[in-house]
């Protein structure tokens, strides 16, 4: 996948909105997670969905199968969900208790 394809995906408004929807939905699930870092990230996203989605924007776009998908329309919701779930602990570890 090219960096250009990744950058185009990150700049796509529909991708941004779908990612915001996905991370917000997952925040509602992770808010009661026994891992404090996962629960803290969920609380931050529930308080500011746009900021939370921005933390996942590049990691998801660079996940296998995303940058070379040929645009956001070719990415299934299930792929987006799986990537967010897989990346949740990583993002939680680098964004502890941020406002």
The two structure tokens encoding residue 76: 């299934």
pLDDT band at residue 30 using 50, 70 and 90 as cut-offs: very high
Max Cα-Cα span within the chain: 38
> What is the DSSP track for 3-19?
HHHHHHHHH-HHHHHHH
pTM value is 0.92
Nearest alpha-carbon partner for 20 in 84, 65, 94: 84
pLDDT digits (tens, 9 = 90+) for 62-89: 998 887 888 889 999 999 999 999 999 9
* Domain boundaries along the sequence of the chain: 3-94
Cα of 14 vs its chain's centroid, Å: 13
Whether pLDDT at 59 is above 80: yes
- 70 — phi, psi (to 5°)? 85, 25
Q: What is the pLDDT of residue 87?
A: 97
- Orientation angle between helical segments 13-30 and 77-94, nearest 10 degrees: 70
């Amino acid at each position: 996948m090219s960096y250009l394809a990744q950058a185009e995906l990150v700049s796509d408004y529909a991708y941004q909105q779908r990612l915001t929807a996905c991370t917000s939905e997952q925040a509602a699930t992770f808010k009661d997670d026994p891992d404090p870092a996962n629960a803290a990230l969920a609380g931050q996203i529930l308080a500011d969905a746009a900021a939370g989605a921005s933390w996942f924007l590049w990691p998801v776009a660079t996940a296998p199968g995303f940058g070379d998908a040929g645009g956001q329309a070719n990415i299934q919701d299930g792929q987006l969900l799986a990537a967010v779930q897989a990346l949740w602990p990583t993002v939680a570890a680098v964004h502890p208790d941020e406002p």
